[in-house]
Amino acid sequence: MIHNIRWRIALPYIVLVILVLAALAAYLSEFVRGLYIADLQAQLSSEARLAADALAEPLGRGAPPDELAALAKEWARQLEARVTIIASDGRVLGDSHENWALMDNHLMRPEVQQALAQGLGTSTRFSHTVGYDMMYAAVPVVVRGQVAGIARVARPLRQVEIHIARLRQSILLAAAAASVLAGLLALLIAERTVRPIRRLTRDALRLAEGNLDVSILPTTRDEIADLARAFNMMASQLKEKMTALSEEKVRLADVLEHMADGVMIADGEGRVQLINPSAASLLGAASDTVGRPLAQVLRHHRLIELWRESIASGAEMEGTVELYRQNALLRVVVTPFRERGTEGSLIMLQDLTHVRRLETVRRDFISNVSHELRTPLASLKALVETLRDSASDDPQAARRFLDRMDAELDALIQMVRELLDLSRIESGQAPLSFAPTSVEQILLPPVERLRPQAERANLSLSVQFPPDIPAVKADLEAMHQVLMNLLHNAIKFTPPGGEIIVEAQAKGREVVVSVRDTGVGIAPDDLPRIFERFYKADRSRSGGGTGLGLAIAKHIVQAHGGRIWAESEQGKGSTFYFTLAVHDISDNTTLTGR
Ligand code: ADP
């Protein structure tokens, strides 16, 4: 109860009211008692005076005690008091209540002594005669200048005490009622004071729980209202800051989520605190990596070493790491940080795999081109030297040499043309114009053009496709080049007596074209690589081939949105397939693309 503001405010009030009222009751009852007693004293004095006046006559004539006793009784009845008649020597001559003859000498009674000395005597004391507190008033009876006796009137104080007690009771009742009222009032005031504080506390708790929309309406115009306003200001500022912070966090999380580089943060104990998807995929780590030891997640001694070195030296460490497991090359930067007591490291991972691949492709390409150029150039050089040294004397030999030089030059020109074609297609400089094209238009011209060559090689060449095969969307010239390349290969790699079949079939929204031969076939190891530039599976047979034909075919088919692949069984033959999209009749536009 003491820890409750309501009671802390109300209790002192209640105590104060009770104390004040108790003091007031005590003071009032004493005061009223005094008044009553003074009043009674005055009344008794005047009654005693009256009695003394009336006694002058009987005492003057020496009336007998019986008469005096009867008088005392009569007056007592009228005054409703005890009346005593005392002789000047203290003997009791008559009394309204008692058997006066047995009463002791009253000379030494204080009121009698006082009356004899001052003419009026009063006293309040316990009366042994009647057995309770009495107030006495005595007046001397003067007859012819002599004190002939004393008249005394007395009344019990009981009446006064009853009045006082009744008064005290009423005062106490009033005090109790006032205390209860004051207490209630104090509680009410305290409650009204405490209520906004309680609301403020509740709202502050809600704010602490994370509900940032709390706002208090000030209902009063006092300090508590100021407090409420200050609270609202604090809440709104907090909300602003939290919103800004969470927006920032979302933005940062977005950046981390979508950035190509890997980012990791480890705490001072080397546990992963943050890892973005790129880092997880670069390291081949599981998704529940947060909280796990860094060494477990990095799983590469060089990465762990870099991290340790950076922690030990407190400096940024950088290195390139080859991850054989993922076949990846990573650039790693480890930066240690120490901010507001927290220690940790920021680890950035950059994937250099594609850069390395591009580098390799470029290097391979240059070395391939130089390699391919070197052979024909070397033989040209040899032919020229031979011609200069000796062949001039032999016109026939000279002619043979010149024919061979011509053939070498043709091969060179062919290679350069193919290289140019390939680079034009790859770089998008050879725009393709797609148009609805019949399968017949695509297949027949290349077949007819190469038929003499096939016949010379003693190969049968046939074309098969259903008459109702749908038209496709294609660049006719580019398609002819694809077929020429495939047919050239088929003729080149099929021994005499073999067969080459060109076929086309509709499959769903596609037409699949195939060129099948009964030739030497391709080894399973070579099969996935034959579409690479300069790749020749069988160098002895490929003869003057450049290794570019299939690469060009692949690029053209892919530019059409189709696929190209090969199936082969060594020694039995190969089949090359490619697909083309069926022309959509609703699509009348002529598309242009690479
Ligand atoms: P090339 O100019 O050497 O023919 P290509 O790119 O056209 O170059 O072919 C690459 C390699 O694929 C050839 O050297 C050959 O080894 C293999 N190849 C292509 N077509 C056939 C085929 N029909 N039969 C067997 N091997 C083939």
What is the reported pLDDT for 550? 94
Ligand 1: residue whose CA is nearest its atom 9: 547
Q: Which residue has the higher pLDDT, 368 or 560?
A: 560
Contact 155, 132 (CB under 8 A): no
Q: What does the alpha-carbon distance between residue 350 and residue 262 come to, in Å, rounded to a whole number?
A: 6
How remote is the CA of residue 580 from the centroid of ligand 1, in Å? 22
Q: List, as one string, the DSSP characters of 241-283.
A: HHHHHHHHHHHHHHHHHH-SSEEEEEETTSBEEEE-HHHHHHH
Ligand 1: residue whose CA is nearest its atom 12: 530
* Beta carbon of 490 within 6 Å of any ligand 1 atom: yes
Percent of the chain predicted with pLDDT > 90: 36
**Whether the predicted pLDDT of 443 surpasses 80:** yes
Question: What six digits make up the tokens of 361?
Answer: 């492709």
pLDDT digits (tens, 9 = 90+) for 151-202: 999 988 887 788 888 877 887 888 788 878 888 888 888 888 788 788 888 8
* Beta carbon of 175 within 6 Å of any ligand 1 atom: no
Torsion (CA) 70, 76, 79, 84 in degrees, nearest 10: 100
* Beta carbon of 535 within 6 Å of any ligand 1 atom: yes
What is the reported pLDDT for 592? 42
**Whether the predicted pLDDT of 541 surpasses 60:** no
Contact 153, 81 (CB under 8 A): yes
How remote is the CA of residue 464 from the centroid of ligand 1, in Å? 23
**Whether the predicted pLDDT of 451 surpasses 90:** yes
Phi, psi of 330, deg, nearest 5: -120, 140
Distance (Å) of CA 320 to CA 79, 306, 329, 437: 131, 10, 7, 52
Mean pLDDT for the stretch of residues 60-78: 86
Mean pLDDT for the stretch of residues 537-557: 78
* Beta carbon of 494 within 6 Å of any ligand 1 atom: no
What is the reported pLDDT for 540? 59
* Beta carbon of 519 within 6 Å of any ligand 1 atom: yes
**Whether the predicted pLDDT of 467 surpasses 60:** yes
* Beta carbon of 149 within 6 Å of any ligand 1 atom: no
Mean pLDDT for the stretch of residues 552-574: 94
- Give the SS3 label for residue 63: coil
Atom of ligand 1 nearest to the CA of 576: 23
Question: Hey, which of 122-131, 152-161, 272-281, 390-399 has the most confident mean pLDDT?
Answer: 272-281
* Beta carbon of 537 within 6 Å of any ligand 1 atom: yes
pLDDT digits (tens, 9 = 90+) for 479-489: 999 999 999 99
Mean pLDDT for the stretch of residues 369-379: 85
What is the reported pLDDT for 594? 38
Res. 226 pLDDT band, cuts 50 70 90 = confident
Question: What six digits make up the tokens of 268?
Answer: 């001072």
Mean pLDDT for the stretch of residues 575-580: 97
What is the reported pLDDT for 436? 94
What is the reported pLDDT for 68? 85
**Whether the predicted pLDDT of 312 surpasses 50:** yes
Chain-wide mean pLDDT for the chain? 86
Q: Which residue has the higher pLDDT, 17 or 239?
A: 239
For a mutational test of ligand 1's pocket, the pick from 486, 489, 538, i.e. the residue with the most ligand atoms closer than 8 A to its C-beta, is 489
Distance (Å) of CA 89 to CA 63, 92, 93, 112, 381: 16, 9, 10, 10, 186
Mean pLDDT for the stretch of residues 258-263: 91
- Give the SS3 label for residue 467: coil
pLDDT digits (tens, 9 = 90+) for 274-309: 999 899 888 888 767 888 888 888 888 888 999 999
What is the reported pLDDT for 269? 86
Res. 476 pLDDT band, cuts 50 70 90 = very high
How remote is the CA of residue 518 from the centroid of ligand 1, in Å? 14
For a mutational test of ligand 1's pocket, the pick from 526, 529, 550, 555, i.e. the residue with the most ligand atoms closer than 8 A to its C-beta, is 550
What one-character DSSP code corresponds to residue 292? S
Res. 497 pLDDT band, cuts 50 70 90 = very high
The closest alpha carbon to 454, from 519, 498, 408, belongs to 498
How remote is the CA of residue 521 from the centroid of ligand 1, in Å? 9
**Whether the predicted pLDDT of 505 surpasses 90:** yes
* Beta carbon of 489 within 6 Å of any ligand 1 atom: yes
Percent of the chain predicted with pLDDT > 70: 95
How remote is the CA of residue 567 from the centroid of ligand 1, in Å? 13
Q: What does the alpha-carbon distance between residue 150 and residue 68 come to, in Å, rounded to a whole number?
A: 12
Phi, psi of 390, deg, nearest 5: -130, -35
* Beta carbon of 550 within 6 Å of any ligand 1 atom: yes
Q: What does the alpha-carbon distance between residue 196 and residue 216 come to, in Å, rounded to a whole number?
A: 9
Ligand 1: residue whose CA is nearest its atom 18: 489
* Beta carbon of 534 within 6 Å of any ligand 1 atom: no
Res. 591 pLDDT band, cuts 50 70 90 = very low
What is the reported pLDDT for 268? 85
> Which residues, including other chains, have CB under 8 Å from residue 51's CB and lie 6 or more apart?
75, 83, 139, 151, 153
The closest alpha carbon to 90, from 49, 153, 149, belongs to 149
**Whether the predicted pLDDT of 2 surpasses 70:** no
Mean pLDDT for the stretch of residues 447-456: 95
